[in-house]
Amino acid sequence: MNLDRRRSSIEIIADMLRLGEAGKTEMMYSVNMSFFQLQKYLNFLLERGLVDKVKVGNPSVTYRVTPKGLNLLRSIDAVLTTLELRQDDDI
């Protein structure tokens, strides 16, 4: 498998969910994406109830993965491992 390939949307979503709880800046740098991409994916996750917005301070906001998001992450990791696109290191 070519390891220099681009990440799929599913892999990006999984990387975001793996963070557990994070603010936008931490997500952007940890998942290695632009602010525009972050907004797009974050809205997608919020609309589907995979992450919740958590108010921490004013104006600081973080986003936390929901039980539904954790369930999705387990499923994504299982598929990626089966397809040998991810090492079976934390399942």
- Please choose, from the candidates 40, 42, 4, the residue with its C-alpha nearest in 3D space to the C-alpha of residue 26: 42
Classify residue 62: in a domain, yes or no.
yes
The mean predicted confidence, pLDDT, of the chain is 86
**For 62, how many CA atoms within 13 A lie in the half-sphere containing its CB?**
11
Most confident by average pLDDT, 22-26, 45-49, 82-86? 45-49
What per-residue confidence (pLDDT) applies to 90? 47
Is the predicted pLDDT of residue 5 greater than 90, yes or no?
Answer: no
Classify residue 72: in a domain, yes or no.
yes
Its domain, for residue 54, covers: 9-82
Classify residue 91: in a domain, yes or no.
no
**pTM check: above 0.85:** no
Classify residue 90: in a domain, yes or no.
no
Give strand ranges (E) for the chain: 21-22, 51-55, 61-65
Distance CA 57, CA 75 (A): 33
Classify residue 58: in a domain, yes or no.
yes
Per residue in 46-76, pLDDT (tens digit) is: 999 999 999 877 778 899 999 999 999 999 9
User: How many domains, the chain?
Assistant: 1
* CATH number for position 31: 1.10.10.10
